[in-house]
Structure 1
Amino acid sequence: MPSPHTTEPPTGQMDAPAGILVGTCSWTDPALVSSGWYPPGHRDAEGRLRHYASRFSVVETDSTYYALPSARNSRLWVERTPEGFTFDVKAFAPFTGHPVRARALPPELRPPVPPHTLIRADELPGDTTHELWRRFRSGVEPLRAAGRLTSVLCQFPPWLAPGPRAYDLIERCRENAGVPISAEFRNPGWFSETQLPNTLAHLTRRDIPWVAVDAPGLPPAAHATSSRLSVIRFHGRSPSWGTGSKEARYRYRYGPDELEPWVPRIRALARHTARVHVLFNNCCADAAVRAAETMSALLAAV
């Protein structure tokens, strides 16, 4: 049944079927800002978000992966977007097992190392991780209180293979987030014929959406494990995936022929879940927003 927060899409967005929201994984990426997609008069912080929200009704906030969110920014995001606009907030890197630079931590929680030192997530004391989660929840609280926060997106690293340790980490994220989470896996082991049924059953029991991905080396497995939300993230198909710089890995432009096979998968998900978020993470100038526009048109076609 429809989500109680589902509303009409913003003016100017191509109409996708009800419950399917299409957007990108950032509205502040420097390559997008410099691409010319934002019109004159809409290139400051407020103008960019207002313009983006006039074109799309969902966005992923990826800045929260690199640093803790602030309640002030969350309040501004609510003020600058219309009713019905929603956010997926990416979990802070240490929460999902990724290393983090010391400078990304609040000064009073940093270990006594140079700011550029890379700290493994499991090297942080338990009380530090607990406090980081508390501050994360506080930072996104204005979004949650306004009904604009759909989920905390937990992107687990390629080295996290299925097993008790991984399931414990998922559970800690679910318990600490304070709002529903969604789970994206990068290790191919999660997609294997023997493991996939166990993974899907585990997520279904906990009402955690499986995040489908379009990326090299990972199958396009789209499954509904929550009746409230499904998520698909398009990372591009760069030949540098897994080896090049971040810019090289995500630099890719989708053509309609590459997106069209996803249309029946997305529609199938929409029959089993109240809302589907389709998010583009192919950061190359305006490539992500153009792909999102193309996908919206494909979904709107009869």
Structure 2
Amino acid sequence: MAERILVGTCSWTDRALVGSGWYPAGRRDAEGRLRYYAERFGVVEVDASYYALPGERNSRLWVERTPDGFVFDVKAFSLLTGHPTREAVMPGGLPADARDPAVLDEVWARFADGIAPIRAAGRLGCVLFQFPPWFRPGARAEAFLTECALRTDGWPVAVEFRHPEWWAEPPTTEALLTRLGFSAVAVDMNRTLPFSVPPVTPVTSPRLSVVRFHGRSIAWGTGTKEDRFRHDYARAELTEWVPRLRSLASQVDALHVLFNNCCGDSAVRAAEEMARLLQGSPATIDHKN
């Protein structure tokens, strides 16, 4: 395998990050922020596409403002993963009804059009499907995932499960994701909660693995957004992941390591530290371009 590790964060536009002072004066407009971020990291997750369908114009601008080799992991729109969706963000006045085949067809088409410039430029790292905590293993879930595979044929797709039962029997889940051609997302989070997802690191696609660091707040799933993501990773917490990340990188073409503890500048600082820790890895650390 051609080993490549890309380190980054799950947003570059988060309000708390923008207000933290991490972006220097003169680099705080939309273009300046992305260019500054892309000088320091090789991947970013587009989380805005979860809250509203992505637009072709923005996708073109993102490609133009980042160097060759920089990639975007685009989070799937909320309606496509079974999350509640506000009517106000639906296109053309469509109802937020995932049970309506016509609505789903239109939303899928608009999502595909929205990310088309990123795909055409060869800059799509993956489309991330983060499923809700109530999405649990079973026949209905497997049918849903199979439909997703048909809709995303030819796309790189990564799947994060938030119900811990998915990893109660890892071989079963691994086999399903492998059959569908999806990359499994490993997570780091607080491990003491009833709904904590264990830090398993299965490889289900040879082209990509993804690890998302959510922080270790005990308010995960219950508090405000700031409460859920307020965590500054200690060096020891990051160091314990280094052997796992090296192992993953040796098995896939690319590994994406993304920090989601988006509270102030915590995510970018943790990403910078992780990149430094991985400098001794046999894989190629490509957090700068």
Q: Give the TM-score, by structure 2 length.
A: 0.92
Equivalent position SS for 1:135: helix
Identity %: 57
Q: Could you list the structure 1 runs, at least 4 aligned residues long, displaced by more than 3 angstroms after superposition.
A: none
Higher relative contact order (CA closer than 8 Å, sequence separation 6+)? 2
The residue type equivalent to 2:185 in the other structure is V
CA distance, structure 1, for counterparts of residue 146 and residue 232 of structure 2: 35
1:126 counterpart (75, 98, 101): 101
Mapping of 1:159-198 within 5 angstroms? 159-178=134-153, 179-192=155-168, 195-198=169-172
Kept in 2, the 8 Å contact 1:207–1:227? The answer is no
Q: Give the TM-score normalised by the residue count of structure 1.
A: 0.89
The match for 1:33 is: 18
SS of the residue 1:264 aligns to: helix
- Match of 1:147, SS state, is coil
1:68 aligns with 2:53: yes
Q: Which runs of 5+ in 2 are unaligned?
A: 191-195, 282-289
Select the residue among 28, 34, 42 that pairs with 1:49: 34
CA positional deviation for 1:101: 1.0
1:244 maps to 2:223: yes
Structure 1 residue aligned with 2:75? 90
C-alpha distance in 2, partners of 1:218/1:190?
9
Please tell me whether residue 105 in structure 1 is matched to residue 80 in structure 2: no
Asked if structure 1 preserves the Cα contact closer than 8 Å seen for 2:261 and 2:267, the reply is: yes
- The Cα of 1:196 is off from its aligned counterpart by 1.6
Aligned match of 1:290: 269
Offset, 1:176: 1.6
Which residue is 1:220 aligned to? 199
CA distance in 2 between partners of 1:150 and 1:164 (Å): 29
Q: Residues 155-198 of structure 1, C-alpha deviation per residue, up to 9 Å, x if partnerless?
A: 01100110111111112222223512110000010111xx3211
Q: Across the two proteins, how many residue pairs are aligned to each other?
A: 275
**Distance across 1 between alignment mates of 2:202 and 2:246:** 12
Structure 1 range deviating more: 160-169 or 228-237: 160-169
CA contact (8 A) 1:96 1:169 kept: no
Q: CA deviation at 1:257?
A: 0.6
Name the Cα RMSD after superposition.
1.2
Q: Helix, strand or coil for the counterpart of 1:89? A: strand
- Aligned counterpart, 1:14: none
- Alignment match of 1:152 (pick from 105, 111, 127): 127
Retained in 1: the 8 A contact 2:59–2:117? yes
Task: Give the match's secondary structure for 2:39.
Answer: helix
CA contact (8 A) 1:254 1:291 kept: yes
How many angstroms apart in 2 are the aligned matches of 1:245 and 1:259?
A: 25
Quick one: distance in 2 between partners of 1:91 and 1:299? 29
Unpaired segments ≥5 residues, structure 1: 3-17, 111-118
Instruction: Pick which of 177-186 and 60-69 moved more.
Output: 177-186
Shift of 1:135: 0.3
Cα distance in 1, alignment partners of residues 109 and 64 from structure 2: 24
SS in 1 for 2:183: coil
